[in-house]
Amino acid sequence: MKAAKFTLMVFLFFCCGNAFAQSADADKEPALVIELGGAASRSLTDAESSFGPTVAVEVTPIENWLELEAGVTPLFSRHSTEWSTDLLFKKPWTLSKKVEFMVGVGPEWIHSNRFGATANSVSGEAVGDFMFWHSAKHRFGWYLEPSYDYNFGRGHEKSVGISGGLLIAIP
């Protein structure tokens, strides 16, 4: 009889612990945030503009200190196509319950096709990321992300860009 009471007490202790953990997790950041939108870029080197869609996934390994964003963007212009894949390391700041701002830097791999000639290169990217959430729960929102790119490949192209679109949080 004592063993049954002890087992019941241990079982209830673990069940209550899980219930408390779930309620505490409800106020935490989402597991990941998906960014879907459009992007525009303007080369400062040869004064060409390009446009295209963009998609990225963002995770928070260290809350209030580090966010990682991996994204893919195909950009199209009159005589070229450029696919860029980036990994950004961002420092977040919460400005209000519905507005966040982040500054980030990271590497970028670029595959370009200009006038039929393909090239691969590595770039560095710096961004500012404004996130506007529909509610304080951070489930849906929109973002605006200005950027600066420096290509370490032939020509050392420099460009400025902006992307924006929808934020979808996955709990």
Q: pLDDT of 67-82, one tens digit each? A: 999 999 999 998 889 9
d(CA 135, CA 117): 47
Please state the pTM of the whole predicted model. Answer: 0.80
Task: State the average pLDDT over residues 29-57.
Answer: 94
pLDDT of residue 107: 98
| 62-66, 86-90, 142-146: segment of lowest average pLDDT | 62-66
Q: Does pLDDT of 4 surpass 70?
A: no
d(CA 54, CA 167): 12
What class does CATH assign to 31-170?
mainly beta
pLDDT of residue 21: 40
